[in-house]
Amino acid sequence: MSVRQTSKIVLAWDLLLQDVPKGRVSKHVGVHRRTVIRWHQGILKTGGLESFLDTYLSSKKGERTKRKIDGLLKKRVWRLREENRSCCGQKIQYFLEKDYGVKLGVTTIYKILAEKYKLRSRWKKNKVRGPVPKASKPREVVQMDTVDFGNVYAFCAIDIFSKEADVVLRPSLTAIDGQGFLHTCMRRRFNKYSDLVQTDGGSEFKAEFKKDVPMYCNRHRVARPYRKNEQSYIESFNGSLRKECLGWSKYKHDQISDLTTEVNNWLIYYHYTRPHIGLGMRTPLIKV
């Protein structure tokens, strides 16, 4: 293999001396264009073809030692995942550089995580997406949805531009509950206004809710049924609420008070500490 490869290096160098473009050299020699570039740079750096070949052959002798990841670094990656509610590799990468000044690739981070945790299955091809409301500024589009926790229902809302969000826990899933949620979240989180409020067609977003929603927006849009991609931002937020806060447990009515405290604490973390990929690893809000 070494002799054959060194022959390619010699041939490539001869062609380069004749001012043959690197792309044509790579096709003629049978290697990637980037490999030709590395050979070219290496020959110039070492001071000639013979010196480069000596260095190249010596580097091929003996078995290559596998790169080992420092045990302390692994522990930091695992701890960051646990401290930040099973966050993704990109967020761990952000925290590593921010807290420790360490730069580590996302692929390497996931390899470290796979040693200790069972990660989700491989990526699956996305289906064709339907139209999704766009936003170019805060309060332009707010999406709303509900999450079932047994006898407790989480009414959720998110500004798809700023990623600010709110959660109100209710004991039932009626339009009156939806109405109460609408007044609470729009007043305390979204400054009483959004150009567009989008919900699904659930009964909790009809009757009393539908009657009052014009008080807070110019338009109320109902997402098409069975098209969850039209509610992609709030669906993603719902997943975070389950994964990072309330889990998949079923709760009772008398737990709402304690659960509300837990959710409010999580919302503080969500808004001021948790970096968001969609915001360039910034947080929705900054502590003043």
HEC string for the chain: CHHHHHHHHHHHHHHHHCCCCHHHHHHHHCCCHHHHHHHHHHHHHHCCHHHHHHHHHHHCCCCCCCCCCCHHHHHHHHHHHHHCCCCCHHHHHHHHHHHHCCCCCHHHHHHHHHCCCCCCCCCCCCCCCCCCCCCCCCCCEEEEEEEECECCEEEEEEECCCCCEEEEEECCCCHHHHHHHHHHHHHHCCCCCEEEEEECCCHHHCCHHHHHHHHCEEEEEECCCCCHHHHHHHHHHHHHHHHHHHCCCCECHHHHHHHHHHHHHHHHHHHHCCCEHHHCCECCCCCC
Most confidently modeled range among 64-73, 94-103, 149-158: 149-158
Average pLDDT estimate for 84-93 = 90
pLDDT of residue 126 exceeding 60 = no
Rounded CA-CA distance 23/216 in Å is 60
pLDDT of residue 14 exceeding 60 = yes
Rounded CA-CA distance 268/222 in Å is 29
Q: Which residues contact 185 (CB under 8 A, 6 or more apart)?
A: 155, 157, 166, 168
Reference 251, options 149, 173, 140; nearest CA is 149
pTM of the prediction?
Answer: 0.68
Give residue 129's pLDDT. Answer: 44
pLDDT of residue 2 exceeding 60 = no
Rounded CA-CA distance 15/33 in Å is 13
Average pLDDT estimate for 33-47 = 90
Give residue 54's pLDDT. Answer: 86
Partnered with residue 144 across adjacent β-strands are: 157
Average pLDDT estimate for 255-259 = 96
CATH topology of domain 141-279: Nucleotidyltransferase; domain 5 (3.30.420)
Give residue 67's pLDDT. Answer: 65
Give residue 226's pLDDT. Answer: 77
Give residue 59's pLDDT. Answer: 77
Dump pLDDT digits (tens) for 109-124: 999 999 998 887 555 5
What confidence tier does 234 reach under pLDDT thresholds 50, 70, 90?
A: very high
Give residue 1's pLDDT. Answer: 44
Give residue 125's pLDDT. Answer: 56
Residues above pLDDT 70, as percent of the chain: 91
Neighbours of 84 (CB within 10 A): 18
Domain boundaries, the chain: 2-59, 71-114, 141-279
Average pLDDT estimate for 46-60 = 85
pLDDT of residue 130 exceeding 60 = no
pLDDT of residue 211 exceeding 60 = yes
263 compared with 130, residue with greater pLDDT: 263
What confidence tier does 248 reach under pLDDT thresholds 50, 70, 90?
A: very high
Among the ranges given (46-55, 59-68, 152-161), the one the predictor scored with the smallest mean pLDDT: 59-68
CA distances from 193 to 43, 141, 181, 213 (A): 65, 10, 14, 10
Average pLDDT estimate for 33-46 = 91
Rounded CA-CA distance 24/150 in Å is 66
Average pLDDT, the chain: 89
